[in-house]
Amino acid sequence: MSGIAVVRRSRFSLAIACQTNGSVSVSVPAITHGVVARATYRCRDQRASVGLTLSLGAARRLAALGSSLATVTLRQGRAIVALSLDLQTGSTSPGYWSDGGLQCSLLGSYEPYLVAPDFTDDPATVIDVRPWVAWSTAGEGWRWLGTAGVNASRWYRWTATATGVSQWETPLGAINPWTWGPISVHPGADTYMIGVVEIVYWYTHPRYAWKYTLASPRTGSLTTYCSYP
């Protein structure tokens, strides 16, 4: 339920949205090959919390890096899903991107659009970006929607410069940002939605970031999520 986990000494925990009991395994290619931690969890009220432990050697290598991109593989019955995770050794908060965000009702009351933040960097660097929308209903809890469907989203490769994403610049120098939508929401389900964007900066080694996007329920207003009665 978060793209970030903090390792204290050699231990960390994950909060999971679930339907049944399952298992979790974590791999960190920058540290070592194969699985670095695994555990099982019990699902109660569509939630689970699981504690995991790294070996002392893996914990020391992570401490030397400060943070690293990990893959979390969840197994519930026959269902298997792999998610990205920023494994860190210092306290942190996901926070929010400074611009872009989820337009709650751009074309209609139940048709949100996700607008990617205009990523900047100096010097310019190649970035890989993957967008998501997390949505929740009272009956089914939190789930993930990506540009390739439920629990599946595509990576988009752009170039972040000091003035924004180069691929979005028009001949006159304006920015035409990447958008995803419309996304259809069923009325009457009491649905909540929030945008999430992953990004990998390709410097001498990949640097991963994961943040929420702010939401705009109407022109000129900002909040942290969209609500659909």
Q: Where are the domains of the chain?
A: 4-88, 101-228
Choose among 31, 26, 27: nearest CA to 63: 31
Q: Output 91 or 38, whichever has higher pLDDT.
A: 38
For tokens 């210092």, the residue is: 90
Average pLDDT estimate for 40-66: 90
Look at residue 74 and tell me whether its pLDDT is greater than 70.
yes
pLDDT of residue 64 exceeding 90, the answer is: no
Output the pLDDT for position 177. Answer: 94
Tell me, which fold does domain 4-88 have in CATH? Immunoglobulin-like (2.60.40)
The Cα–Cα gap between 61 and 50 comes to: 23
| Global pTM value | 0.66
Same fold, 4-88 and 101-228: yes
Q: How would CATH label the architecture of 101-228?
A: Sandwich (2.60)
- The overall average pLDDT reported for the chain is 89
